[in-house]
Chain A
Amino acid sequence: MDILSLLIVVPVLTILAIAFTKNYKQVRVIAAIGTGIQLFQSFNLVWQYLQERAAGNTAIMVFTKSYIWFEKFNIKYDIGVDGISVALIALTGIIVTAGVYASWGVKEQAKEFFIWLLLLATGVFGFFIAIDLFTMFVFYEIAVIPMYLLIGVWGSGKKEYSAMKLTLMLMGASAILLVAIIGLYIYSNPQGGPLTWNILELANVTMPIEMQRIFFPMAFVGFGALGALFPFHTWSPDGHASAPTAVSMLHAGVLMKLGGYGALRIAVGLMPEAAQEQAWFFMILTAFGAVYGAFGAIMQTDLKYINAYSSVSHLAMILFAILMFNATAMNGAVLQMISHGFITALFFSLIGMIYGRTHTRDIYKMGGLMKVMPILAGTYMVASFASLGLPGFSAFVAEMTIFVGAFQHPDLFHRVATILVASSIVVTAVYILRAAGILLMGPIKNDEFKSLGDALWYEKVTLIVLIGSITVMGMAPLWLSDMIMKSLTPMLQGFVTL
């Protein structure tokens, strides 16, 4: 079994093992073991990848394998990774592990919960290793559909509404995406001859520009909706607010990155001409989204809504950076995917833990939590600083790179858009500090809160893993950004680079 396929096989085996368990204690132990192996595999993959590159392998994708699946449609189970996917696989491994520990306390229908959660993870891993559009799409849908039951059954609040909204909007987007993917396939061989779904082969083909004009927006919106592209982001706040903790973590941390990754690799990467032509329109949307998300977060009093809108704002930066079409900004986009994955997962896990104790997410009903749960409150403070881009944390590295890249465009339109997006950081500081201040400082507003306990061991595992990742990435980003940069170079050949 090759190193990449194992990334799918292990979660599937874990799911099967969970199906035979008897009680929730066995379930979570098996889930922890399975994701532990998965985490090790992810790190091992990074290591192997760096070794491979150091040994002088300059292929665009390494560890490639190809098996025929549907012969007549030339569909293959094609897998391979480059620096971008390796980085995102490592992110996924970390978030999934953290997510399992964050849902250690799930007792009601624990078996089903972990099965769906791991199915979601399987879909994500599969998506990142696939380089065949069809296979990729299959995994994409596998990752999306478990959300319906995860939110609908284990969620809170208006969960049925949120679950349905999320599923329909995401599946609707993926339906549009499907048309774009078939379009890429059909125009994959203008000279006649066998058609292909393989991304590497498609990258060498230039689709007729008039077809690109139809399919690029479909692909970009299809992926963008998952990456919270304004105005298709509305599923995100409701979905996150209703989802259980681990699902929010996984969804905001990893699943939404599928959108950014797809937009980068498929929409922009395979249809560069139309992308450059239509970039202005989507740039307006993303710039607006970044500012809108930040202001939206100011207005919220529910912790989860604050973080969900904050995600909308931060994810808009990713799509914005992708549309800059230069190596620096795109590098920033990928870094932002990873950084935001860690930070938002940390936030959602903290919110879940706080909610589990206080049973409210309204910031005005809480206060002074620093006095009763110093570890959780302290971590929340750290997460806040990381989120608003303090140097030393990962977000600083990512956002800095994005804006440096964006500023390379000298024309007025790009400048204004960049300044707009950059201004959202200021607003971010406002809502983050305001929420942290109300939540953590001041007097304790509710006497019942005085007896609340601090983080338990498994919660600490989640927090340590995530904070560790944020700090490591913030302190030593160069190897990561170097790895990503090298993989971006072949993709950028289709563009008139600056």
Chain B
Amino acid sequence: MNLNSFLLMRHELILIAVVLLYLASEIIGGGKNKRFSLNFAVVLFLAVTIIGFLPISTGTMFGGMYQTSPAIILMKNILNAGAFIVFLQVVSWLKKEENDNRIMEFFILIVSTLIGMNYMISAGDFLMFYLGLELATIPMAALAAYQVYNLKSAEAGIKLLLLAALSSGIMLFGISMLYGASESLYFTDLIRTMEMNSMTVLALVFIFSGLAFKISIVPFHFWTADVYEGAPMSVTSYMSVISKASAAFVLMSLLFTVFAQLKEIWTPILYITSVLTMTLGNLFAIRQRNIKRFMAFSSIAQAGFIFLGIISGTQMGMSTVIYFLAIYIFSNLAVFGVAGAIYNQTGKELIDDYAGLYKTNPALTLVMTFGLFSLAGIPPIAGFFGKFFLFTAAMESGFLWLTVIAVLNTIISLYYYLLIVKAMYITPNESPIAFFRSDFYMKMGLILATIGILVIGFIGGIHHYIYNLSFGIL
């Protein structure tokens, strides 16, 4: 191995460098200069995001423990871009006095989780995979408990930590079974030796459960609403998009590589969990009054749709999953961005508080509307294209009735997304949230998210590009 092959790991290496730079700036500056810290963190991460898009070669390292492919790199770039938007949106919150002297801490923790996710996505071995997963989870618990003075936030942190430990344990159990069955943890070996027996099937179920916990698939979703509600808005936003998207991507590639031989086992599992996830997520979302809990259930429901692409088992389905994940990230960030802007300004996070928002803050309302319409799947906004292609992929593989259930679920989801639209545009309000100006970073964050959801869907070439990349997974 020479030094050059290390560059395959460019995404991770740069992120590690970023964490170190953040630390160094904290040590040198002592965190005294708030403005400098924030600008430094955001600008540095912008550079990281841009560098990520530069061309890079692909291959494997450490004897197959680490691997990259064009699709994996694309996913990392999507995650970077999403994290960058979160960074932009978090600035106005970190500026508050309550976060004095802890600004860098936030960025360090969040980039650490990102490193973990990158390793998890790139893993070619279950040990590497597990390391990445844990690195993505433990700082996340710290982030959820970031508002230590807030009881709910602390509770969220503990809840996430305990349940994540439990799910990790279950997953480790599954991994150990795989090792028992084939005496190797390398994906390449496992793919070769995988055969159907009770041991591998159990391993599949356990590993699936562990990842399903991260994606918050019903019945592993119980932590979601509480943690989302307790965690700070930006952390919730980050968790709901980046964390979920990376786990969904990993689940998909595991199912198609390591567990490809067990397709007839995991297809019905996906079928049932997908139906449950969509339906329960949607039904619970209707009753929510708090925007974070609302988005928690909405994101659970969205996860159910992702399974439609995975279950199809075709390259079309898989490329559409990546496509859908990208759209989902931008849509959720648009909604969370607006919710965060309002929360930072007024401390309000109930849907009823949004009544009459259009009259006072038309621009914010518009961004929120785009985000919600995208999640609901209304053309010409990107979410529609993502869902439509997922349905097409599923039906091409013969899952007619699953698709019918899914489209009926989109109607339920449309109802509750429209409830927010109704609050913002129609419901009269004596004392609506007063007009306020967001800072530069927040504006950029919202604009980027909006451009994302408008452009990704409309430009046909993007889907084509992803399709051509996703050969790497199959």
A170 to B463: give the CA distance in the assembly, Å.
Answer: 29
Interface size class of B (residues with CB under 8 A): 20 to 34
A293 to B413: give the CA distance in the assembly, Å.
Answer: 32
- CB of A162, distance to nearest CB on chain B (Å): 12
A142 touches B380 (CB 8 A): yes
Residues of A within 8 A of B388 (CB): 134, 178
Interface centre among B316, B373, B392, B410 (most CB of A within 10 A): B392
A71 at interface (Cβ–Cβ under 8 A)? yes
- CB of B17, distance to nearest CB on chain A (Å): 37
Interface 9-residue window, one of A180-188, A306-314, A477-485: A180-188
B414 touches A179 (CB 8 A): no
**B379 nearest CB neighbor, chain A only:** A138
A80 to B320: give the CA distance in the assembly, Å.
Answer: 29
B415 touches A168 (CB 8 A): yes
A137 to B377: give the CA distance in the assembly, Å.
Answer: 13
For window 342-399 of B, CB contacts with A under 8 Å fall at: 373, 378-380, 384-385, 388-389, 391-392, 395-396
Contact residue among B407, B415, B463 (Cβ-Cβ distance under 8 Å from A178) = B407
- CB of A385, distance to nearest CB on chain B (Å): 39
B223 at interface (Cβ–Cβ under 8 A)? no
Q: Please, what's the 1-or-0 string for A105-146, where 1 marks a CB less than 8 Å from any CB in chain B?
A: 000000000000000000000000000001001100110010
- CB of B26, distance to nearest CB on chain A (Å): 45
Residues of A within 8 A of B20 (CB): none
Interface 9-residue window, one of B84-92, B168-176, B258-266, B420-428: B420-428
A141 to B414: give the CA distance in the assembly, Å.
Answer: 13
A214 at interface (Cβ–Cβ under 8 A)? yes
**Count of chain A to chain B residue pairs whose CB atoms are closer than 8 Å in the complex:** 87
A163 to B411: give the CA distance in the assembly, Å.
Answer: 15
Interface 9-residue window, one of A47-55, A148-156, A415-423: A148-156
B392 touches A152 (CB 8 A): no
**A72 nearest CB neighbor, chain B only:** B467
A141 touches B463 (CB 8 A): no
B404 at interface (Cβ–Cβ under 8 A)? yes
B426 touches A152 (CB 8 A): yes
B23 at interface (Cβ–Cβ under 8 A)? no
Q: How many residues of A contact B (CB 8 A)?
A: 34
Contact residue among B379, B407, B460 (Cβ-Cβ distance under 8 Å from A141) = B379
Q: Please, what's the 1-or-0 string for A430-470, where 1 marks a CB less than 8 Å from any CB in chain B?
A: 00000000000000000000000000000000000000000
Residues of A within 8 A of B392 (CB): 73, 182, 185-186
Residues of A within 8 A of B426 (CB): 149, 152-153, 159-160, 163
A73-B392, A167-B418 known; A179+B403 contact, CB < 8 A: yes
B408 at interface (Cβ–Cβ under 8 A)? yes
A145 touches B411 (CB 8 A): no
B464 at interface (Cβ–Cβ under 8 A)? yes
A183 touches B460 (CB 8 A): no
Q: Please, what's the 1-or-0 string for A154-180, where 1 marks a CB less than 8 Å from any CB in chain B?
A: 000001100110011001100110110
A175 touches B467 (CB 8 A): no
Contact residue among B395, B404, B425 (Cβ-Cβ distance under 8 Å from A153) = B425
A347 to B339: give the CA distance in the assembly, Å.
Answer: 44
B378 touches A186 (CB 8 A): no
Contact residue among B407, B421, B464 (Cβ-Cβ distance under 8 Å from A175) = B407
**B398 nearest CB neighbor, chain A only:** A186
Residues of B within 8 A of A164 (CB): 415, 418, 422
Contact residue among A149, A171, A182, A183 (Cβ-Cβ distance under 8 Å from B425) = A149
A100 to B392: give the CA distance in the assembly, Å.
Answer: 39
A152 to B419: give the CA distance in the assembly, Å.
Answer: 11
- CB of A51, distance to nearest CB on chain B (Å): 33
A364 at interface (Cβ–Cβ under 8 A)? no
A142-B379, A145-B378, A214-B400 known; A70+B425 contact, CB < 8 A: no
A75 at interface (Cβ–Cβ under 8 A)? yes
B411 touches A171 (CB 8 A): yes
- CB of A100, distance to nearest CB on chain B (Å): 22
A40 at interface (Cβ–Cβ under 8 A)? no
A68 at interface (Cβ–Cβ under 8 A)? yes
Contact residue among B404, B407, B427, B463 (Cβ-Cβ distance under 8 Å from A72) = B463
**B426 nearest CB neighbor, chain A only:** A152
A148-B421, A152-B425, A178-B407 known; A70+B463 contact, CB < 8 A: yes
A413 at interface (Cβ–Cβ under 8 A)? no
A495 at interface (Cβ–Cβ under 8 A)? no
Residues of A within 8 A of B427 (CB): 160
Residues of A within 8 A of B384 (CB): 138, 141
Residues of B within 8 A of A70 (CB): 385, 389, 460, 463-464
A138 to B389: give the CA distance in the assembly, Å.
Answer: 13
A153 to B418: give the CA distance in the assembly, Å.
Answer: 13
**A138 nearest CB neighbor, chain B only:** B379
For window 176-205 of A, CB contacts with B under 8 Å fall at: 176, 178-179, 182-183, 185-186
B391 touches A178 (CB 8 A): yes
Residues of B within 8 A of A186 (CB): 392, 395-396
Contact residue among A71, A141, A214 (Cβ-Cβ distance under 8 Å from B464) = A71
A160 to B425: give the CA distance in the assembly, Å.
Answer: 11
Residues of B within 8 A of A153 (CB): 425-426
Given A68-B460, A145-B378, A149-B426, 15 other A-B residues pairs in contact with their CB atoms under 8 A: A70-B463, A72-B464, A73-B316, A137-B379, A138-B379, A138-B380, A138-B384, A141-B379, A141-B384, A163-B426, A168-B418, A171-B411, A171-B414, A175-B407, A176-B404
**Could you show 21 A-B contacts with beta carbons less than 8 Å apart?**
A70-B389, A70-B463, A70-B464, A72-B319, A72-B463, A72-B467, A73-B389, A73-B463, A137-B379, A141-B379, A141-B384, A149-B425, A153-B426, A160-B426, A167-B414, A168-B414, A175-B411, A182-B392, A183-B395, A186-B392, A186-B396
Q: Sorted from nearest, which 8 A-B pairs have the closest CB atoms?
A: A175-B407, A70-B460, A152-B426, A138-B379, A69-B460, A172-B411, A182-B395, A71-B464
